[in-house]
Structure 1
């Protein structure tokens, strides 16, 4: 079992070219995403998706097998029965706690305290059967995580005081900024492993807290947990390299996490742009209707496809679909065929394996 003598000499090379490039790209993505106007209903939907993915990520790393849909049902119903469901419910409660605390404290929310960390741990592990763990209290026994032997329990209070001093220092808060600070906090807390259980979840929650307080709430609650979950082996390998290969030099670990963060932001941006493309596509189709290039029947079919309706080209051409039967009542199959051919020719719909789809990507031709 490997033990590492914890030191807080992070030695982050702020002049590292890749680190600088990644930081600039992330900030650019963050600002561009925040400036895309979307209606409140879509904002709430994106927010919930990010929250569910964060819960899936942080609990999944620890072996929780709930799907995103199961997590959604748990947090919407508030009726957690299984241990795995209670774990997900706790993670959701912790998200709400973070939001409320940041909102109520304002600028002061950036300061981390031991009481805050204990509160987050208590929420995370409340009602769970996890051995000698006591929610919100430091462990009084030794623990290990995989091949890593955590510090002796007698060292915890001193290590936590040192950790709080470092993470609240002007050098870290103002010199490194919230993004890198959140990753440092995550690394040190999970390495100290101060609790009997739930250390990983609490460390990732602290990371999310610092990101949220620092304005990195990119269209909703966000953290790196979902990326770490999808790349669990790399995540654990990077933690161990930071300890045993680089002896606390966190520059490689920071760059790994920044690459992960950039990857996730690209996904967030794509989700928002997909929504924007759908809205713009609808406007484009309305314009086609107003110019007399398509008729109202075609418009109805496109709306149906855009909403995820299933329709094959054979069903359309032969009037064998309920919607097509209704739209072309009293009209011949030849008329239906002519309408479909016109939409295909104009690129408004596309056909894949005989199934028809609204061709939202037609808007790409207007990108210069």
Structure 2
């Protein structure tokens, strides 16, 4: 399912056709499980402990109300052998022992992260624990189905409980694995057959970094837009509250960043703007453009076209030299 389809379900309460309702239920289960993890983070009064019972509970939530094979019981370890591609999961009789050992090991790493005196080392150990938990659960393959979803949820929970990663960023690795699915399976395979655990960790770390940068850029673009709207209203605060001012403000706010508009294109930016200029003279249009140029809200290019001066907001964006990742907007001269 696409992100838009998911939004349509949860924002507009749309239901999928009966033949696709299993997809809707899977997504609902994932979002419900993420919501419960978030509640656990806020309610936690101590260090997070990974236990087989906790993992089984999450697996049960992820597979709730889904049609599964006869050998799959949500929240319970498998009792049969499984083969995924060319990989054979751990023997069923060893699963309880291996899951307990995995939980104990991950808890030791998280305890080391909690004891360290530096945030950098704490983050390194936390990320190490999260990705190792993901990898080793995939290797053990304790369930007949839903192992990947459970592994990704554990990874998210460890990052979230650390207090070092904002909640909005704890699940970006899931998106990264999905985007690079072929590479993901290659790294899982190499970790298993070539013992290249470091390669899987490095692959995950690179994706986490890039996904965080993408998130920061998205937030900064949104902040840029909000700052621009506020700036435009501020520039109009000394102008009379007339239809003329409202028309001019509508024009500048409708202009997209980095786009040069001809006079005709400006007149038809939106249906409302088109109605504003319907039947008016070119002289009125020139006065509007002149006023917006005077207010330094638009700029007339040598080609005779007009563009928004939203790039003025870039001066307020965090710069990389001060520890922030800054997106590369299309910058214009400010003369």
Q: What band does the TM-score fall into relative to the shorter chain?
A: 0.7 to 0.9
Q: In the TM superposition, what is the alpha-carbon distance from 1:115 to its structure 2 partner? A: 0.5
1:172 shift after superposition: 6.3
**1:78 Cα shift?**
8.6
Conserved 8 A contact 2:109-2:126? no
Give the C-alpha shift of residue 312 in structure 1.
7.3
In structure 1, the gaps of 5 or more residues are 1-65
Higher relative CO (Cα under 8 Å, sequence separation at least 6) belongs to 1
Shift of 1:341: 6.4
Q: Of 77, 81, 84, which aligns to 1:142?
A: 81
After superposition, the Cα gap between the structure-2 partners of 1:321 and 1:228, relative to the gap in structure 1 and judged at 3 Å, is: closer
**Cα distance change of structure 1 residues 155 and 220 upon mapping to structure 2, 3 Å threshold:** same
Give yes or no for contact 1:316–1:336 (8 Å, CA) kept in 2: no
Note the residue ranges of structure 2 that are not aligned, 5 or more in a row: 117-123, 320-335
- Which of the numbers 71, 85, 91 marks the counterpart of 1:152? 91
Q: 3-state DSSP class of the match of 1:106?
A: coil
Contact 2:254 2:270 in 1 (8 A): no
Partner of 1:169: 108
Distance in 1 between residues matched to 2:152 and 2:32, nearest whole Å: 15
Say if 1:218 and 1:300 are closer, same or farther in 2 by CA, change over 3 A: same
Structure 2 residue 141 is the aligned partner of structure 1 residue 193: yes
Looking at CA atoms only, which structure, 1 or 2, has the larger radius of gyration? 2
How far does the alpha carbon of each residue in 1:197-236 deviate from its partner, in whole angstroms, 9 at most, with x for none? 0000000000011111112552526321001100001111
Q: Counterpart of 1:121?
A: 59
* Number of residue equivalences: 293
CA shift digits 1:285-333 (9 cap, x unpaired): 23443577x95432122234479xxx9742545x796423543478423
Residue of structure 1 in register with 2:152 after alignment: 204
Q: Is the 8 A contact 1:315 1:321 kept in 2?
A: no
Shift of 1:243: 1.6
**RMSD of equivalent CA atoms:** 3.3
Contact 2:160/2:170 (<8 A) preserved: yes
Matches within 5 A, 1:285-300: 285-290=232-237, 295-300=245-250
Matched, 1:90 2:29: yes
Conserved? CA contact 2:82–2:144, under 8 Å:
yes
Change (3 A) 1:324 1:170: closer
Structure 1 residue 272, shift from structure 2 partner? 1.3
